[in-house]
Structure 1
Amino acid sequence: MPTDHTPDPAHEDRAARDCRPCDGVDQVPQAPSTGPSIAPSTATSPTRRISAGQPRTSRLRDAFDNPLRPAQVWKPTGVRRKEVLRALGIFQRATADQLWRMLRPADRHDRITRDTLNVLKESGLVRVETRLESGHQLWVLTEKGHKEAKLLLPKTVRLSALRKLEYDDEGRPVQADGYDEHAAAVTSTAAVLTGAGYGTPLSWQTEIAHKLPYGYTQYADLTMRAPDAGVPAMLLEVDRVNEPVDELVDKLRRYHEWFELLAPKADAAKAMAARGAAVHDFRLWSRIYPATGREGYVPVAFVFTGKTAAQRASRMRRLEQAARRYFAGEPCPGRGVGITAVDYHQAVPVVVTELERITADPAGAAGAVWRRLGRDEWQTLTQALDNPDGERLYQVQLREARRRQAEREAAEREAQRPVCTQCGTKFTDERWQETKRSSWPGAWDRLCGPCKRQAADRAEAERVVRRRAEEAERAAAEAPAVKPRSRFGIGRRR
């Protein structure tokens, strides 16, 4: 966010003695404005900030409103004027209090924001539309300011419609009435989130349309893009506890249906076969919103405000019970082998909070003021959007399940390993495979390798002995018979 250098009025007298004014900041002799204008990443604690219209409970020794000390006075800068014009161009209507919390949460109060609005009013860029019951003035852009804001806003940011000035029968301008409290809550929600470091005013857009095939268009109250805060995109619905819970469930159903729409020219067959994160490559939403960095579709946040805390709590419980099918996800494959992880890839992450809870927390929207439907604890927004029981847990449990399965298979295999019938030794893997390849199993297949070799050697030796004996017998049988002769060579007569 652009910054200008406005000193802390509580110490302006010291600063004036020690240093010269910063360049580009004009000085005028008027009532002092408030202190540091560089917006921090998180909102200042509500206990340290007060509205300019509220009485101070105590007076510090060198406070800015001490009339006994001279004070250096500063007027609104061009940077602040541009910030206000851009914010009103996005949100259409806002009070000085809302603009202060959104644009300059480090200021002690909204005095300098009101000064900036008055300067813009003198230039014909803004006007007061009405004064609310709370006493706050509601500011809008004039036609001239609307054109100026259009030049200041990027092309990608939607410019809100111009609030035209109405006149009575005598041609006098009339103040509008019936300011929508829902619109006020929407702007306040954006203000407290921006003040907590979730993007800048340029990170927001209002009433973004999500068209469905059957002719219905679901409008989001707010869309936020704050990648630096870990939330690349989020849709917000502000509820003042004045419509049926069934309507909130229908909104979630329509969002889920829109997230399921295929992108133009996407292959329907491949989309049906895709699993896990691959399904998003075929969806329309991935062409419009950035990747969430987590499983699931773009998260949806319900911000409740109004009525009593008990009524808001009851509303959140009823929404959680009725809309479970859209945010609960599906069990991952392998429930029977100890896998408890959840597949959120085709679910809508839904978080809920209360505007009153945010404003009461010292850390504002950056604190543990969010609850993910399906969980009991209150967490920060990034913690609520993370999925510790999702893909990461699934991969860990899958590796563990595969390890246990391998151990079971190894134990079963070991139990089936043959044992040598001669020496009682278990077969080696090589000997086991050797026996399995044998076409004609015999007695040797029940022997281990060494015993088989010994048996083979004995059998070979026995075969050699038998062969020699057989050869001797055959030789003796084949030898010719020799007749005995007498001493004088004449055969003996019988």
Structure 2
Amino acid sequence: MAGKRKTNPAGSTNSYRGDVLRVLGALKVATADQIQRIGAPHLSFRHADKEPPSKRKQTRTASHTGALSDMRKHGLSENGGSTGGGDSLRNLTPKGLEAASYELRRPAGEMGSTARGAGSSGASHPMSVNETVIALLRPKPNLARLADDPPHVQAAAQAAVDSPDGIGIIASFWTEVPLPATGTWNTPGKGGAQADLVLTAPQDGVPLLFIEVDNCHETPEELADKLEKYHRFFRRKVKDTDGRERPMWRTRWNAPDTWSGDSAHPPVLLVFNRLGERNPNLTVPKLSELTSHLWQGQRHKGYHLYDGRIPIIATGLKNLREHGPDGPVFLRFGRDRMQPLREAIGNPRRETAEAHAREEARTHQKAHQAKMRRAAEEQAAKKAAEREARRPVCTGCGTEFTDERWEAAQGQAKGWDTPKESHPHLCDGCKHAAVAAAHEANRQERPEPLPDWAKRKHRLRYARRPRCAECRATFTDERWQAVERTGWDALRPEARPTLCGDCDRRYVTDVRDAWSDEPPHGEQDQAVPEQKGDQHKGTSWFSRLRG
């Protein structure tokens, strides 16, 4: 602790010094009260019960005041006079701006000036600019830092957290930005403007917004002249790094090509703080009339086109502070109603009309697709019915062909090596049966190779294996060889060469049985018919032939 106080006598922490660098780096000049409200808004709730208000303000800004004191010791900040209310103004030194560039993650060359001497006349305009930033930011307290505070403090902080959000963070704002109509960014020429504020918060729906703050000291003509300079700057084109000409402002800031479908210039917000003698309620109508050629769009099917125009919006600092950017306190020139900031910047009527047109187009497309789908289904059903009418029927069993069998029968099977269909009029089952039958017939009709003994015969009675004339059984090799014997062989030829071995033996047996039971010739004629019938039942076919 002793070492820390030796380096930072006021006992400041890195967190509070970082708040100072970020706020002063963006705003250039501010009071400790404004730094605290932006960097540590939870302190406003922690010390809300202290009285009087001066004591409360001193207590909640003590941490940042100590940080400013330590930074002044290190040559990072300095006092820059005081406001009309007596608050000390603080600004950064060149060394402090360099340190702030790291906190804001900006190039050091884009940090701008130190704003030294801004407090010589009370800095009423810079203070109004800072209050505009706070009103747009609407900083939310960190509830984790109030975990040990009384319940009523936490409840008040929770209500602030639940209120509508602001736009951007402190690093989203740039102050005193030159808009050169001639010259360069670093050395702008004459005839250009200087924006009080530039807001870049694409994450919150505001990709680019130029802000002018008026303390009601300027006339409508002076404000119109400033807007003319804006228009001149927006139209200026320079060559980009790719050699193509682009609007100069696009070489520094990123923004979409269109806002709500309009190829318009970036919007300009006029914030009126009623410190001067001029009434903004009278200034705005006059200013709108003087600048109509800058903002007026072309009517088109229920909405306006704002291509090449500047969306100019006006609001009061009091209303902005009370309602924030989401409140209906913004009036866009050419419209007759107040809107939230994002709606005022955009073109809601065009968005609605185009959304309606897209919905109608989608509906029409869906209807057309449904119609085409129905037509395709009807055509497919018609083709399917016609195809079913042509579906062949098996000539064998009468069954309709399957799709696969039909394609195969028509020769539509894929593959160059697919064999030709052999039975195009049969279903798969009948085809398999027919193929099996044909195979069996071919197998039976195929000539059997001659045995070795037959090959040695010069002449054969049977050129192939014979079948029995009685039972149709094929001859065995022995029987075939036996019936092929001729009178020149060692064995005598077979007496019944048309019978197989079994039938030949049965024949011999039947003949023997028939002759052994033959009665004398006289008794045969006197036999009783019934006995003859019984006798025939027990005899063979050969004995029946004899009877």
In the alignment of these two chains, the number of paired residues is 305
1:287 aligns with 2:251: yes
Give yes or no for contact 2:217–2:277 (8 Å, CA) kept in 1.
no
Give yes or no for contact 1:342–1:391 (8 Å, CA) kept in 2.
no
1:377 aligns to what?
337
5+ residue gaps in structure 1? Answer: 1-23, 29-73, 166-174, 272-280, 333-338, 404-494
TM-score (norm 2): 0.49
1:211 aligns with 2:183: no
5+ residue gaps in structure 2? Answer: 45-59, 140-165, 183-188, 364-547
Cα distance in 2 for partners of 1:283, 1:141 equals 33
After TM superposition, the runs of 4+ consecutive aligned structure 1 residues lying more than 4 A away are: 394-401
1:304 aligns with 2:256: no
Q: Which amino acid aligns with 2:296?
A: A
Q: CA deviation at 1:364?
A: 3.3
Q: Which amino acid aligns with 1:300?
A: V
Aligned counterpart for 1:251 among listed residues 214, 217, 226: 226
Give yes or no for contact 1:103–1:195 (8 Å, CA) kept in 2.
no
| Richer in helix (by share) | 2
2:112 aligns to what?
160
Q: Which amino acid aligns with 1:161?
A: S
TM-score (norm 1): 0.54
Aligned counterpart for 2:96 among listed residues 111, 126, 145: 145
- Equivalent residues in 2 for 1:413-424, closer than 5 Å: none
Deviations 1:245-287 (A, max 9, x none): 1121122222223222344289xxxx9xxxxxxxxx9544333
RMSD across aligned positions (CA): 3.7
Cα distance in 1 for partners of 2:208, 2:11 equals 36
Q: CA deviation at 1:301?
A: 0.5
Aligned counterpart for 2:213 among listed residues 213, 238, 245: 238
Q: CA deviation at 1:232?
A: 0.8
Cα distance in 2 for partners of 1:103, 1:136 equals 18
Cα distance in 2 for partners of 1:202, 1:187 equals 13
Q: Which amino acid aligns with 1:358?
A: L
Cα distance in 2 for partners of 1:238, 1:164 equals 20
Q: CA deviation at 1:161?
A: 1.9
Aligned counterpart for 1:99 among listed residues 35, 44, 47: 35
Which of the pair has the greater relative contact order for Cα pairs under 8 Å at 6+ separation? 1
Aligned counterpart for 2:316 among listed residues 346, 354, 358: 354
Decide whether aligned partners of structure 1 residues 27 and 141 sit closer, same or farther in structure 2, where only a CA change above 3 A counts.
closer
Deviations 1:380-407 (A, max 9, x none): 2112212112355257469989x9xxxx
Decide whether aligned partners of structure 1 residues 395 and 202 sit closer, same or farther in structure 2, where only a CA change above 3 A counts.
closer
Cα distance in 2 for partners of 1:94, 1:318 equals 33
Decide whether aligned partners of structure 1 residues 313 and 215 sit closer, same or farther in structure 2, where only a CA change above 3 A counts.
same
Deviations 1:318-356 (A, max 9, x none): 222221221121223xxxxxx222111211111111112
Give yes or no for contact 2:272–2:317 (8 Å, CA) kept in 1.
yes
2:441 aligns to what?
none
Deviations 1:357-392 (A, max 9, x none): 223x1x434433322222233222112212112355
Percent of aligned pairs with the same amino acid: 27
1:88 aligns to what?
24
Greater gyration radius: 2
Give yes or no for contact 1:143–1:164 (8 Å, CA) kept in 2.
no
Cα distance in 2 for partners of 1:164, 1:301 equals 27
Give yes or no for contact 1:117–1:126 (8 Å, CA) kept in 2.
yes
Cα distance in 1 for partners of 2:357, 2:170 equals 42
SS at match of 2:313: strand
Q: Which amino acid aligns with 1:350?
A: I
Q: Which amino acid aligns with 2:26?
A: I
Q: CA deviation at 1:291?
A: 2.0
Decide whether aligned partners of structure 1 residues 396 and 317 sit closer, same or farther in structure 2, where only a CA change above 3 A counts.
same
Deviations 1:177-227 (A, max 9, x none): 323322222222223222353222211212222222595222111111111
Decide whether aligned partners of structure 1 residues 309 and 80 sit closer, same or farther in structure 2, where only a CA change above 3 A counts.
same
